Structure 1
Amino acid sequence: MKNFFILSLMASVLTISCKEAPKKEVEGPVKELSILEKIAYANGYENWKNVQELKFTFNVDRDTTHYERSWIWKPKANEVTAISGDESLTYNRSDMDSLAYEKNGGFINDKYWLMAPINILWDQNSISTEHSENVEAPISKKNMQKLTIVYGQEGGYTPGDAYDFYFTDDFMVKEWVFRKGNQEEPSMTTTWEDYQDKGGLKLAHMHQNEEGNFKLYFTGVEVN
């Protein structure tokens, strides 16, 4: 009788344990990232949400001439300060007069040079894309992946322009070609180099052409 009681008790405990055991959650399929997402995330896109302020100076050296202008961008407030020499202008990008609109064209250009690998993800609804593998890059002559993006004909400061991004298997851009109006011939071809981590963003600080007589670079980059 005693053995029967013990066996009955053990059976009851096992039954209760089985009933109370938590069910294992069934995970759904992992979403495959698009090529735009892979490039953006490789450059720290996941950290953009933490950025309160971005400062940078845009520099261009062409032969013996030098040009520069600086920017302070507060993305959460949509506020930009343009600084050129002793002059500065602060404006909100959601409410621009003609002067601010003109300045903003320069900001769009300079920001794109600094953050194009992330910017293309923001622009995904206004561009068409074509991805190729094992394509010879124009400057290094190395085989890389290539992403061509073409902007729509409506809206923006330079509608219809095209860019060819050449990047390695880690999705870091190494070279690019700008083609104005999606023309076949390159309008400009430069490197993407001197990547530095700023606030979790991986930003290329130097771009230069094959001849070395054109350099576009960034100084004073701060991410808060």
Structure 2
Amino acid sequence: MTVTERPSVPGYWYPASVAPTSDASVLPTGLPAESPEATVRPQTDAVSETAAAAETAVLTPVLDERERAVAVLHAVRRFRGSDTAMRTRTATELSVNATDLAALRHLVNAERLGEQVSPTELSAHLAISSAATTKLLNRLALLGHIRREPHPTDRRAQLIVATAEAHAAIRQVLGHSHARMLDVVTAFSADEQQTIIRFLDGLGAAVGENGDAPS
């Protein structure tokens, strides 16, 4: 019985230029070209044609679904590239490095949520040492981006807050970009926005901690 190998569909990390394809010119070892066993004969009877058509009808939606999914992941990759470029521009405008910017973003977000941030908590969030956190805070304080405040209930502890100048600088640098992003989001209906949220949250969980661990 002759088994026809189905062509592979290039995946997210699998360039189409190197995707394996079936090569009809390659024959099984030991079978001459004129051998009946080496020749794939066309199916001409009605039953075979019907079966082939049914198989094609089943396979085509599967392949199209895979290709659509890959196109979505490529769009996510393009967005990540644009987001990285925006972060780089922001860090340059604020005269900070990537880790400093991540610290500022965390402080601003914590303030929005009404949360307090200590040096220890910031160190854990950034996954850096206490010594590195101290140097980072000294840099940001020198630039006028953060200030240290006494903890309201623990005299031995400090809290870190972003200054009004830091908030103003971030709004100036990111304001136009955020406005354009909001315009894109508001162009979708409420139901579509919920679908996007579910998709992004699911994608985040898939690539998050232990996302690559075998299930």
* TM-score by shorter chain over 0.5: no
Considering fraction of residues, name the structure with more strand. 1
Q: Which has the higher contact order (CA 8 A, sep 6+)?
A: 1
- Pick the structure with greater CA Rg: 2
Q: How does the TM-score come out when normalised to structure 1?
A: 0.19
Considering fraction of residues, name the structure with more helix. 2
